[in-house]
Structure formats: structure tokens, C-alpha cells
Amino acid sequence: MRPIQTQNGRSHILYDAELPIHAEPALFDPAAWRRRGQLLGSARGRGETAFVSDGTHEYVLRHYRRGGLPGRLVHDSYLWTGLERTRAWREWQLTAELQRRGLPVPHPVAARVERHGLFYRADLITLRIPAARSLAQVLGDAPLPAGRWQAVGACIRRFHDAGVHHADLNAHNILLSGDDIYLIDFDRGRLRAPGAWQQGNLARLLRSLRKLYNESLDVAFSDADWQALLAGYGAS
């Protein structure tokens, strides 16, 4: 990985120069990818996500949007307190560091921050993990074997042992691809010393799984599944 930082007008871009990309504003514009016939699809969650391909690689483009009540008022603007403190910059750098440590995360491709006076908007691009589905999607199709739940727990433990505090650990941010398990979306994540936050992470994930189960009878999740996850977490 070779991080390079550029500026084009009010746009600041941080990217991996080892990847075959052009670090320009159009890189972050789903409409530009659509015009070239390279837009694969999109999804809407807390942010706006587009899936694109340049013929060699597939990428995930995410535009940062606020959630909750603030999101109804200011949508996608954040207070400017310096480039290094912007959400996209921090997430790109944290994800790059986690990859350097050998943790299963998506490869960070590029981040863009556009400053508008006292505020900024931001975008992040990562490599798309091949054939990956979220834990939430998988549970909507069929129960997960106990061994896979244990593997999920072991994966989370790897991150915790490395001091990685995932700010939004939920069933949508855990991806399964074949035998591999990844964590994604490190917005507001950080490296911390061990503490109560680790159990808080697990509690947040449990709430997410119970919410999925309560909202859809098609979601397969039980107390035995959670105990299998905890067994994998504790055995690591």
C-alpha cells in the first residue's frame, strides 16, 4: 500500500497509489460510473452506497450521511475541525492500519473530503470483498451452523485483542465470504486499550441480532447461536 494525498480545489483525496485508479472527483460520483456502464448496483443504509467495477476490480463507494435526528436536519454535512479529523480520513487510515496488521478488513482505496466553509462532505471507496454477504443476509436464508457462529466470535476477538473498537458492530457489518469472515465500516472506530467497551461491542451486536429476529420470522437466531459465538470469542 502506498498512500498519496492530493488536493483539487476544495477536494482533498487520499488514495492507494498501488491501485490502478485516477484520483479525481469523478471517482466518487456514481453518476459518472453509470454513464460508463460500470455501475453494478446500490444500497441505502446510514450512508449511500454504490457498487461499481472498472473491469478489473469491483469497488464499494460510500457517501457519508448522518443518522438519527441530526440526519434529518443537515443530511451529509459535518463540522470542519481539520482534515486529519474528518471521518473519511480517519476511517481510511484506520482501515489501512488494520490491514497492515493482518486483520480481515476491506482494502481501503480512496477517501475524499470536500470542504465548504465551516463544513465538509465526505466519501470513502474500498475494494469489494468477492462473494461476500452480511451476517444479516445469511441469517435471512438459513440457520448458521454452530461452527460458523464460533468463527464469528473468534474473528471479533481478534479485533478486540488488537484494541480495535468498532463503533457500530452489528449484523450488517460482519461479512461472510466462503470460509472467511470480515468486519467492515470503521467510521468513528479507533484503537483503544482493553476495557468495558469490548463487552459493550458484544452487547451492541446482540441487540442487532435480536432486532433482526424480532422484525422478521425469516431470520434464524437463537440463544444457542449466541452462546456458540461467545464460545468462539472466549476460546481465541
Q: Give CA–CA dist 236/34, Å, rounded.
A: 44
Verify whether residue 179 is a known catalytic residue: no
pLDDT in tens, the chain (236 residues): 999 999 988 999 999 999 988 888 899 999 999 999 999 999 866 568 999 999 999 999 999 998 755 545 568 999 999 999 999 999 999 999 999 999 999 999 999 999 999 999 999 999 999 999 999 999 999 999 999 999 999 999 999 999 999 999 999 999 999 999 999 999 999 999 999 999 999 999 999 999 999 988 788 999 999 999 999 999 86
Assigned CATH for 133-235 = 1.10.510.10
Query: What's the grid cell of residue 159?
Result: 479485533
> Considering the entire predicted model, what is its pTM?
0.93
Choose the catalytic residue: 168, 180, 218, 225.
168
Query: What's the grid cell of residue 103?
Result: 486483520
Contacts of 30 (CB under 8 A, 6+ apart): 39, 42, 50, 52, 61
49 dihedral zone (left: phi>0; alpha: psi -120 to 50; beta): beta
Domain locations along the chain: 3-127, 133-235
Which pLDDT score is estimated for 236? 65
Closest to 76 measured CA to CA, from 89, 65, 90, 92: 65
Q: Give CA–CA dist 44/50, Å, rounded.
A: 9
Q: Give CA–CA dist 219/216, Å, rounded.
A: 6
Closest to 113 measured CA to CA, from 71, 78, 75: 78
22 HSE (CA, 13 A, CB side): 7
